[in-house]
Chain A
């Protein structure tokens, strides 16, 4: 029989919502299912997906809270008299952030209504390739059929279930942003020094797959005055340029975050005081160590949310190792009328803007006579650690691997943001580098920037790289003065030359 809907989207996150709304623009009958399975700790949230509820948005807002803590310190140097003590209260921040997120949930509901997209707050699974069974929280069932189906269920944080106590006592990013009370005891921040007293939170990251989340969270927790430790099994920020990754972690260390490197936890136990005792192995020293903390947070990667979809009933193939859905360049799965976008797809960046773009283009191809495919090359990204890191294109390692070190030129510079001067802030890790091809045209392969407002800096250059920007073109671009970004247009010292790469602004 005829399907009820032209398009059914399973998953109301960045990718799903973008696809559904775009399809509705073409006058199609569209429905979207969204459901949030509560976290093991019981946390749940509204429409909008990971980004809005437990990702980019609350993360950046809490990062901003931490940055404002630094601003308070700087302000003194710029003449602002702030009486001590200065301290941060978690509930005020959390409430403000959570309220904003809820307004976004609401906004999305309204938009779906305006665009006449039918919204089901149900958990969907396949009965057959064209039929979805939706289940409400109360257990009520609804059957929906559609001609085209898009799976955009995203992922959820993994738990290291092989570690005793991990599930019972640990939280993840799913819970962190919704905590009503501080993960540490009330912090005391004595201006102009930050003293980490009493509040102890440990933050564990095995950094296999979801690298930046752990460092970003550890960063802002430190920034608001909590005593934070990051336990890392191997290398942080795997997959990113390693020189930049180490500068980022170096900065965090000088910022106050503690690192337990090359350690991995073996068990988590609850103490009488309600604090948590963590036992871990230090692989360097071959010893076993313990310490107690108020909160343990896991950031060991994210797993695609496909288990309950019943993909077998539809015949949709997944990658046996990662569990992610395999798609082709047009976002189609192994079943022609079933598509997938976002974090759930194999081999794609786990980023909101790519999910949105892919979702929109998919809708345009399905219903709008477009044939434009998603371009996943040169996607810019930013890690919002206390000192931010923005990049686009290839890492230095990737470029060397791809072209050979003789065929690439790396221009780099250590710089000092003007605003750091009066504030007497340490700019040791403020650094940028550009990886170019060495041949005559000198096309730019990758750009990396560590410093304040890294995202704002990198965005425009990402555009330039999309236009095939070359080093000579960049040199011809006049800088805006005084900014940090202008230093990119002035890059001229190569790594090859071995010269000191410290540059002065004026």
Chain B
């Protein structure tokens, strides 16, 4: 869309290869269809369930029994997504960007073959190319995984309530999904191979796990599934999961209605003909290394988003990188995407917002004696009346002592963590120090003032 502003002739190819279970979706990519958007809406549905409980303590009265209807929620969510798909189609048309619902792959220098749903092929040439094909969920590679398990690609449009669910994985996707499914009243178990939220601050990751356990989610630690069998067909059916310990020979079995795999995502780079044009990819991960101007080793081919090596897999990063790239190419701008201090939020039942270094990373980078960690538990005012979870919310900042106690890491665990963290991320971008933080007056009474 940015490129079209500069009156360049632009084409977008978008195609969704159906999931093993046959699921597909419209224009917009992962975020809109099977990522951030439906995730946050379902997380909101779960939060509203909690709000219902709280509201009784605040004087609201209604019948004791309150049930959640999966179909009502999913329909609303899908309708909204549909409106976004449509919105994109309209926007592209208005900006005169040619859109083809076809699978693109390189067949030679400057040339792409586009194959649509019906198998019709067309060839296109362009001066420059931008690869932004993103990723898809990984499967375990065990018997029964593709036949019987679902992934996040399927969850948000599942035409029936998933029922008793086993979530395999400890990524933020796994924990977020487990979190909202439990919040909607479902029986949820999470099977974790080793640690939670790899790459995130582990102190906080453990607090998140603890909170989820205290709120009814079971965790099976240090096990991996080795087989999934179908006991009974249905919507949902019944599945048997056999799992092996990572620390010995112990085998366990469990029965679930749904098994959701959330063990990672793989870049969609292996089948788009990159070898035909000489674009190097990391053979192991499939990701594309680029320079700080998002250029691949082939000068006229660029890449942005989840497929980039060593960059964050986040929507706003992809958007920013894409926009700035185009401004550099066609508007003479020089700004590069700033990948440092990118804030992020994990929308688990207890939300976690972070910007900058985790405590471990800070210790590694600066040395333990050179950092100071200030921390505090806090109790959101809104949780006092319903007597909820005293002393679970937590905030910490990590400061670099030598550099005027500059804040190099910000972490907050509590409600509306995303809203809280955003502004602090801006402040960190301005080089905020502990002193400046201390001298800023708090807004009272909010969580962020802690």
A488 close to chain B: CB less than 8 A: yes
Confirm or deny: B49 has a beta carbon within 8 angstroms of a beta carbon on chain A: yes
- On whether the beta carbons of A482 and B443 are closer than 8 Å, the reply is no
Given A56-B445, A379-B441 in contact, is the A61-B385 Cβ separation under 8 Å? Answer: yes
Contact B426 A474 (CB under 8 A): yes
Q: How large is the interface on A (under 10, 10 to 19, 20 to 34, 35 or more residues)?
A: 35 or more
Contacting residues, chain B, for A51 (C-beta < 8 A): 444
A61 neighbours in B (Cβ, 8 Å): 58, 381-382, 384-385
Give the CA-CA distance A457 to B415 in the complex, in Å.
12
Name the interface residues of B52-74: CB closer than 8 Å to any CB of A: 52, 54-55, 57-63, 65-74
**Residues on B with beta carbons closer than 8 Å to the beta carbon of A456:** 416, 419-420, 446-448
Which residue of chain B is the closest to A76 with respect to CB atoms? Answer: B72
Known: A422-B76, A422-B77, A483-B419. A352 touches B59 (CB 8 A): no
- A478 to B354 Cα, complex, angstroms: 12
Given contacts A68-B60, A79-B68, contact A453 B419 (CB under 8 A): yes
- Taking a contact as CB atoms under 8 Å apart, the answer to whether B381 and A60 are in contact is yes
B115-150 CB mask vs A (1 if < 8 Å, else 0) is: 000000000000000000000000000000000000
Contact of A79 among B55, B72, B441, B447 (CB under 8 A): B72
Residues on the A chain within 8 Å of B87, using CB: 504
Q: Are B427 and A96 neighbours in the complex by a CB distance under 8 Å?
A: no
> Using an 8 Å CB-CB cutoff, how does the interface string of B64-102 with A read, 1 for contact, 0 for none?
011111111110110010001001000000000000000
The stretch that binds B, out of A5-13, A26-34, A81-89, is A81-89
User: Hey, which chain B residues are within 8 Å of A379, CB to CB?
Assistant: 441
Neighbour of A462 across the interface among B37, B44, B343, B440, CB < 8 A: B440
For residue A427, CB closer than 8 A to chain B, the reply is no
Chain B residues, Cβ within 8 Å of A354: 441
For B67, B338, B416, B433, the residue with the greatest tally of chain A CB atoms inside 10 Å of its CB is: B416
Contact A480 B418 (CB under 8 A): yes
Residues of B within 8 A of A357 (CB): 441
**Quick check: B49 and A421 within 8 Å, CB to CB?**
no
Decide if B317 is an interface residue (CB 8 Å cutoff): yes
Q: Does A165 contact B (CB under 8 A)?
A: no
Q: Which of A61, A97, A354, A466 has the most CB of B within 10 A?
A: A466
Q: Are B444 and A418 in contact, CB atoms less than 8 angstroms apart?
A: no
Any B CB within 8 A of the CB of A178: no
Judge whether A463 and B385 touch: CB under 8 Å: no
Contact between A380 and B45, CB atoms less than 8 A apart:
no
**B76–A483 touching, CB < 8 Å:** no
Tell me, rounded to whole Å, the shortest Cβ–Cβ distance linking A506 to chain B: 6
The SS class assigned to the A binding surface is helix
List residues of chain A with CB within 8 A of the CB of B433. Answer: 467
Q: CB-defined interface of A463-502 with B at 8 Å, one 1/0 digit per residue?
A: 1101111100110111111111110110000000000000
Contact A463 B52 (CB under 8 A): no
Known: A480-B345, A480-B421. A469 touches B426 (CB 8 A): yes
Which residues on the B side are within 8 Å of A316 (C-beta)? none
Residue of B nearest to A59 (CB): B445
* CB contact between B62 and one of A72, A375, A470, A479 (< 8 Å): that residue: A72
Chain A hits for B448, CB < 8 A: 455-456, 459-460
Task: Please name all residues of chain A whose beta carbon is closer than 8 Å to the beta carbon of B58 when the two chains form the complex.
Answer: 61, 64-65, 68, 92-93, 96
Interface residues of B in 307-361 (CB under 8 A from A): 314-317, 320, 335, 338, 341-345, 353
How many inter-chain contacts with C-beta < 8 Å in the A-B complex?
Answer: 292
Q: How far is the CB of B46 from chain A (nearest CB, A)?
A: 9
A78 and B73 form a contact (CB under 8 A)? yes
Tell me whether B439 is interfacial, beta carbon within 8 Å.
Answer: yes
**Docked CA distance A500–B210 (Å):** 47
A419 close to B (CB within 8 Å):
yes
Within 8 Å of chain A (Cβ to Cβ): is B442? Answer: yes
Contact present for A483 and B62 (CB under 8 Å): no
Is residue A90 within 8 Å, beta carbon to beta carbon, of the partner chain?
A: yes
Task: Give Cα distance in the complex from A90 to B58, angstroms.
Answer: 9
A80 within 8 A of B: yes
Residues of B within 8 A of A224 (CB): 59
Distance to closest chain B CB from A22 (angstroms): 14
Cβ B63 vs Cβ A463 within 8 A: no
The residue from A65, A77, A381 contacting B443, defined by CB atoms under 8 A apart: A381
Pick the residue among B67, B184, B423 that contacts A459 (CB under 8 A). B423
Which chain A residue has the least Cβ–Cβ distance from B339?
A478
Q: Which residues on A are within 8 Å of B, measured CB to CB?
A: 51, 56-57, 60-61, 64-65, 68-69, 71-72, 74-75, 77-94, 96-97, 100, 191, 224, 351-354, 357, 375, 378-382, 390, 418-419, 421-422, 453, 455-464, 466-470, 473-474, 476-486, 488-489, 504, 506
A-B contact pairs, 19 of them (CB 8 A): A68-B51, A71-B51, A74-B48, A79-B69, A80-B49, A92-B59, A96-B59, A382-B446, A418-B40, A421-B41, A455-B448, A464-B423, A466-B427, A477-B422, A478-B342, A480-B418, A481-B315, A482-B36, A482-B37
User: Besides A100-B385, A478-B316, 8 other CB < 8 A contacts?
Assistant: A61-B381, A69-B55, A75-B48, A460-B423, A467-B432, A506-B31, A506-B36, A506-B37
B: residues with CB less than 8 A from A are 28, 31-32, 36-37, 40-41, 44-45, 48-49, 51-52, 54-55, 57-63, 65-74, 76-77, 80, 84, 87, 184, 314-317, 320, 335, 338, 341-345, 353, 381-382, 384-385, 416, 418-427, 429-433, 436-437, 439-449
